[in-house]
Chain A
């Protein structure tokens, strides 16, 4: 995808709140929300796998609902509230503090903790989409069965893990959130 804008292209103003921060940009009508997030806003945590809705790597919350950002045009998100993987931490109660390799300290939420402890990611390409899909599931259903978790995540593909660890992590995150009382915010 060539991000260069053709000189004749009409630009439209798009105003969105992403992870709590307001952004205004002028973009072409054809720009997808996924490209908008990555190229205009520099939020490269939202990954692009297939660009036709199959892989789920680009899943974000749009006005609180999980959607494929590759199948939504940025102009359609005008006025909307978007949560990407960069903002997923703040969507759940705070959990453990960890120190990254570069020395930075971050606070994980129970869903992220469970993904780490259950080895629910290897290359990590699919992980942003899984976290967003799992977040929507846990909001709607704080006590899902394994079957319900598998159904909810059926639209996200992972080429590395074989899914079992991802399913285990989401079930464990649900347990942790229930134990902590008060599920997802």
Chain B
């Protein structure tokens, strides 16, 4: 399956894969859609939608800030003009930004197989490095990403060696506050620290109901990083990755909190802030 070709063609050129045939889906016009569901609870992104289309969309960035921030970190402009969001998820590079966003939001992948359409939730989609549950003959037709409820703040940050490189570590957070300013729901996800995107579910549960503070974000970051099992490779050691993960987690939680407060303050009724 050839989508934007921005991962597959390099792998072909390096002779890492030798398929007998390629099916090019990048011109499938009916897969080229960014569509808000009628009830407005989620957005569907078709398999022909490129990274650059997400950044250029007039309202998507404001409705789903974490997606905009994550996509801005994906590669370089000329790669974003070809590569697709769905292709990035199917490619399942554990350092990639889009799979972490899918995991953070508990999104779903809509797949077309011989028996028809089915959906796979994010936490069942990624198996290990560059490997998903998709059988080779099935096509992912869209991603479904839930939009934040009123009073939610979101943020994505990463550390990479150079602008546009894959993340050494990336972190994403979603924080919803209740009317008293306590944490109603927290979500935290990482890329670059395991063989798949990683959710910090224990820390998320511990944060629920707590009073926000800078110390709380630092403690949450440290606790989340302690659960991670990153690997050492040519780019960074495991210890460095864990340290960066703790730092980034605290930063994204803090940023998400600031935005969640802003969402309450600005118009008095809440809404997702960028």
Contact = CB atoms under 8 A, between A and B. Distances in A.
The interface residues of chain A, by DSSP majority, are classed as: mixed
* Top 8 A-B residue pairs of the complex, sorted by shortest distance between their CB atoms: A155-B76, A52-B10, A154-B163, A65-B81, A66-B78, A71-B9, A154-B164, A51-B13
Interface of A: 29, 32, 51-53, 56, 59, 65-68, 70-73, 76, 133, 136-137, 150-152, 154-156
Contact of B78 (A29, A32, A52, A67): A67
B20 to A, nearest CB: 12
A119 B9 CA distance: 34
B26 A155 contact: no
B183 interface: no
Contacts, number: 64
B77 interface: yes
A169 to B, nearest CB: 18
B9 A155 contact: no
Given A65-B78, A136-B77, 10 more contacts: A52-B10, A52-B13, A67-B78, A71-B9, A73-B5, A73-B24, A133-B77, A151-B163, A155-B75, A155-B76
A71 B10 contact: yes
B159 interface: no
Contacts of A70: 9, 13
Interface in B48-104: 52, 75-79, 81-82
A67 B81 contact: yes
Interface size class of B (residues with CB under 8 A): 20 to 34
B78 A68 contact: yes
A67 B82 CA distance: 7
A73 B13 CA distance: 12
Given A52-B13, A71-B10, A59 B164 contact: no
A151 B78 CA distance: 12
B162 interface: yes
Contacts of B9: 32, 52-53, 70-73
B132 interface: no
30 contacts: A29-B22, A32-B9, A52-B10, A52-B13, A52-B14, A53-B10, A53-B79, A56-B76, A59-B78, A65-B52, A66-B77, A66-B78, A66-B81, A67-B78, A67-B81, A68-B78, A68-B82, A71-B6, A71-B9, A72-B5, A72-B9, A72-B82, A76-B26, A133-B77, A133-B78, A137-B77, A155-B75, A155-B79, A155-B164, A156-B76
B9 to A, nearest CB: 4
Interface string B141-169: 00000000000000000000011100000
A133 B80 CA distance: 12
B10 A155 contact: no
A110 B50 CA distance: 31
B42 to A, nearest CB: 28
Contacts of A68: 6, 78-79, 82
Interface string B24-37: 10100000000000
A32 B26 CA distance: 16
Nearest to B78: A66
A5 to B, nearest CB: 18
Contacts of A59: 78
Contacts of B10: 51-53, 71
Contacts of B162: 154
B160 to A, nearest CB: 10
Contacts of A72: 5, 9, 82
Contacts of A151: 163-164
A29 B20 CA distance: 12
Contacts of A71: 5-6, 9-10, 82
Interface in B91-149: none
